[in-house]
Structure formats: structure tokens, C-alpha cells
Amino acid sequence: EVQLVESGGGLVKPGGSLRLSCAASGFTFSNYAMTWVRQAPGKGLEWVSSISHSSTYIYYADSVKGRFTISRDDAKNSLFLQVNSLRAEDTAVYHCARDRGNNWPPAAFDIWGQGTMVTVSS
């Protein structure tokens, strides 16, 4: 079964850090660009960051640039998001998602994880 499972979320104080992980299974992870999308409670979807296969290209949303770092370990079929200098407005469910057609730049996301919740509060 093709699957993405996120972990690493939690409650953190403003200014704190977390490392989010996304474990992939059921497909050849190294062939696909991957993306993080977040959703604040009761709000819509917000694209966060994308990474190409082989990590050659990386994009970030302006709202997280300089604070978040996306990476991948193809040997471990894993995607990561290091989130630093967290703010209250970063509170959200963070989903990882696979690009549908192995495209770059990213295009459509056909496989999504259920997400991991990040809560930033003092």
C-alpha cells in the first residue's frame, strides 16, 4: 500500500524548534518530488516547502523562508522538515505529500499523509 506517515509534532513554546518526519512506503520514494503543506485549525491549505528528487531543487514559502529547512533521506525513504524560530501562526497540522507525476517544479499531490500537529504556545 502506498502510504505516507508523519511524526514529530507536538507542543512547543514560541521560538522553539521541532523536526518533523514523513515515512514513505509502497513506492520508490527516491523517484518523487515531495512537499509539505500545512493547515491551521479551521483554516485552509497552505503550501510550505517542496524538494525535488535527489534534493537538487528546494522551494520555500515566504512565510517560512529562513526558519524552516526541508530535507530527505532516500536510503531511509524519509522526508523531513526542521522547523525553527516557531511562532504562534505556525500552529497547524503539517502534511507531507507526493508529487503525482514526478514533476519539478511540483505540480499535483496525489498521496498525502494524515498529518502531524504542531502547536506553538507559551
Residues that bind other proteins (CB under 8 A): 35, 37, 44-47, 50, 59, 61-62, 95, 100, 105-110, 112-115
Closer residue to other proteins, CB minimum distance, 16 or 55? 55
What is the smallest separation between the CB atom of 116 and other proteins, expressed in angstroms? 12
Reading the block at residue 6, the C-alpha cell is 508523519
Distance CA 94, CA 23 (A): 13
CB of 27 or CB of 59, closer to other proteins = 59
In the chain, count H helices and then E strands: 0, 11
Residue closer to other proteins, measured from CB, 46 or 74: 46
CA torsion, ordered 37, 38, 42, 45, to nearest 10 deg: -30
